[in-house]
A = this chain, B = another copy of it.
Amino acid sequence: MDRKPPLCTLCGSRPSIYHRRYSGERLCARCFIKTLRERVERTIARFKMFEYNSRIAVAVSGGKDSLNLLHLLHEIEEKFPKAELIAISIDEGIEGYRDEALRFASEACRRLGVEHHITSFKELYGFTLDEIAERHIGEVTTCTYCGVLRRRALNTAAREVEADRLATAHNLDDMAQTALLNLLRGDLRRMRLMHPAGFSLEGFVRRVKPYCEVPERESTLLAYIRGLGFQTKPCPYAEEAMRSDIRRFLNYMEARRPGTKFIVYRTALRIIESLGAVEESVGGVCKLCGEPTTGEICRVCQLLGELEKR
């Protein structure tokens, strides 16, 4: 006796390949992709992320999330002939890891006919992340260096290609984890920074997160269905134990109560919105590099200064 899978809830004709527990839907591959594309479109519309003629820099790391986002935006933007997509990648300089990811990124851009810019830590800061990891001692972790420097590098690259938006591929799991992480750290300022609509700050290209309602699990499935080549290796420096603990907890809660990640993400948005706007007065510019900062010397220059002392 062979049991056929149930038909797709949406088209009613093709066999389903995925059971979306939080909605009850069973979806065929084609409808599955369609629902995710529509979800990203709705996210863009709800948060007014783009203008009809936006020049959008997409941060493409070479992982599944950013490659999926690049493909979805490429499809969505076909309806907007005045809009432009440019992929930007940051080469932190992590041997055997980022170089592989960059190959996936370049290949995807080439096939889609999307311009691809690569900016490296080495040229921007004088050090690769591998060199930083060897050099730095003390409290600050390699991940903190990478986070701060990559954030700045993405902004620099987006400005260089004259983009007016910077789209990053944070997924639903990232959002829910960040919300919980910042609750457990008591960091409401950072919780505010996760807002998918981003902020307009002088000197910064506005960051938007059109992928923020796509669960990690569906992102992986999407990449497999499309046959995308993407990096699966974890970063050799990956640590951040606290986020791993929170990821595990949220996955457990989601398995027991499908929809939990959506609830956490949406509740965090309501909290953020009630907290009011991020202090948009960045204050001034860094005395050393001229980039916007809240203090006298920006975090990037502080961290690089620590390295120079060694």
Contact = CB atoms under 8 A, between A and B. Distances in A.
Interface of A: 179-180, 183-186, 188, 241-242, 245, 249, 252-253, 256-257, 260, 263-264, 266-268, 270-271, 274-276
Contact of A184 (B242, B263, B271): B263
A184 B260 contact: yes
A257 B186 CA distance: 13
Given A274-B274, A275-B274, A276-B274, A186 B267 contact: yes
A188 B270 contact: yes
A186 B263 contact: yes
Contacts of A260: 184
A123 to B, nearest CB: 38
Contact of A271 (B263, B266, B271, B276): B271
Nearest 8 CB-CB pairs, A to B? Answer: A186-B263, A186-B267, A249-B249, A274-B275, A274-B274, A271-B271, A183-B267, A184-B260
B245 A186 contact: no
Nearest to A261: B184
Contact of A245 (B179, B253, B267, B271): B253
Counting chain B CB atoms within 10 Å of each CB, which of A268, A270, A274 scores highest? A274
Contacts of A249: 249
Contacts of A242: 253, 257
A196 to B, nearest CB: 17
Given A183-B180, A275-B274, A252 B263 contact: no
